[in-house]
Structure 1
Amino acid sequence: MNLPNKLSLLRIILIPFTLLFMLPVSIYGWEPEGWNSFINNYGMTIAAVIFIVASLTDFFDGQIARRQNLVTNLGKFLDPLADKVLVISVLLGFLALGRVNAWCVMLIVFRDFMISGIRLVAAAKGEVMAAKMIGKVKTFVQMVAIIYLLFEPLLLRIFTGEIHTYPLPVCTVTVIGDVFFYLCVILTVVSGLDYLIKNLDLFRNSK
């Protein structure tokens, strides 16, 4: 396994660690007080750092693969899979905490699977779908939104001097988070429709 593929695999390995520090433990009513207190104090900040590291592996694996001619079929499968699982897992974590809207998360998940399906159809026809600018903007805003949401408890602690647990209070910090998240959702829908409309011929010409 070459270095880019190892970086993609590392991104997948970091996912459970991100969720571990995002979510307090509650198993059939059993809640370890010491651990959950640690999570409430520092968990989201640690999760944010892990998520940033995981996101950086996404940048470097592609750069290394292209510059050193290490593009492989495994990499073509592993890289987008790691991206989607990372983002969807963290969004589901926020959903479990009650921080984001379920319908919005469903839209993001549906869009990602739809694009993956379109790419598979294109690949079967020997065509390559180049990344669209709107898709790149969506990905950037999505990463910014997730990182901001992960840092929200720390920002609240800095500005209020208090430790806040979920659900977080409605204030400037969380409103900014909402703006980032809903902007991400809007770009997700727009970019999804853009991909679909511009690739309708793939389905019209299917036999």
Structure 2
Amino acid sequence: MKVLKLLPNFLTILRIVLSLFLLFLLLNTRTYFSFLTPFQTNMISSLVFLFAALTDLLDGYIARSYKAKSRFGEIFDPLADKILILSAFLGLVYLDRVNAWIPFVILGREFFISGLRVLAANEKKDIPVNALGKYKTVSQVVAIGALLANLTYSYVLVAIAVFLTLYSGIDYTIKYYKS
């Protein structure tokens, strides 16, 4: 049972390590990994990303189911999520698969909402995570998975992810001012 209490934190750390490996893979596709075909690189990077994204679902499930929530998890789980999303987007920018402004919009929203949450906490306000925030995250994961696999219509998914990112940011801002 003690192992189950530590597992969510291990999965969070694993997600950070996988994120950094993914970024290394994407940035070095043409050098260290030049022996791989583009298709192989796309599939490996997609699988690494999707496995890392699944660790987020798994660590949350285990933490809730086995009452294994920790202060470490509260701080590092959302940070690991942001590292994963931004590592993937930065690698995709490097490979010219996505415009550079997209990670900046996502990063800007994340910093803004994190700051808003700090303000809310200092003012004893509660802005709970809602379904829109979860849809935003899922849309980002799906869009990145499609971009990594180099699917033809991935830009439609990216547009949806950007829209939900901005919309959820506006929604959180409105909730902050109403609370």
Partner of 2:106: 108
Quick one: which amino acid aligns to residue 43 of structure 1?
T
Q: CA deviation at 1:133?
A: 1.6
Which letter does structure 1 place at the counterpart of 2:168? S
Q: How many pairs were matched up? A: 175
CA distance in 1 between counterparts of 2:161 and 2:97 reads 15
How far apart are residue 24 of structure 1 and its match? 3.4
CA distance in 2 between partners of 1:180 and 1:122 (Å): 32
The one-letter amino acid paired with 2:46 is A
Identify unmatched segments of 5+ residues in structure 1: 156-172, 203-207
Distance in 1, matches of 2:123 and 2:24, equals 41
Offset at residue 135 of structure 1 (A): 1.1
How far, CA to CA, are the matches of 1:71 and 1:124 in structure 2?
Answer: 22
Deviation at 1:98, TM superposition (A): 1.3
- Stretch moving more, 96-105 or 107-116: 96-105
Q: 1:119 is paired with a residue of what secondary structure?
A: helix
* CA deviations over 1:110-168 (Å, ceiling 9, x no partner): 0011111112222333444311221111111111111111111xx5xxxxxxxxxxxxx
Unaligned ranges ≥5, structure 2: none
Distance (whole Å) between structure 2 residues aligned to residue 6 and residue 137 of structure 1: 25
3-state secondary structure, aligned to 2:98: coil
1:24 and 1:39 in contact (8 A); partners too:
no
Shift of 1:20: 2.9
Q: Give 1:48-127 correspondences, 5 Å limit.
A: 48-127=46-125
SS in 1 for 2:69: coil
- After TM superposition, the score normalised by the length of structure 2 is 0.89
**1:7-18 aligned within 5 A:** 7-18=11-22
SS of match in other structure, 2:108: helix
Q: In the superposition, relative to structure 1, how do residues 39 and 90 fare at CA in structure 2: closer, same or farther (>3 Å)?
A: farther
**Contact kept in structure 2, 1:145 and 1:181, CA below 8 Å:** yes
Report the Cα offset of residue 3 of structure 1.
1.2
CA 1:139–1:114 in 2, change beyond 3 Å: closer, same or farther?
A: same
Query: Offset of 1:12 from its aligned partner?
Result: 0.2
Taking the TM superposition and a 5 Å limit, the aligned residue runs for 1:22-61 are 22-24=26-28, 31=31, 35-38=33-36, 40-61=38-59
Counterpart of 1:195, as a letter, is: Y
Partner residue of 1:21 out of 3, 22, 25:
25
Q: Cα RMSD (Å) of the superposition? A: 1.9
* Identical amino acids, percent of aligned pairs: 39
The answer as to whether partners of 1:17 and 1:47 remain within 8 angstroms in 2 is no
Q: Rg: which structure is higher?
A: 1
Instruction: Please name the residue that 1:164 is paired with.
Output: none
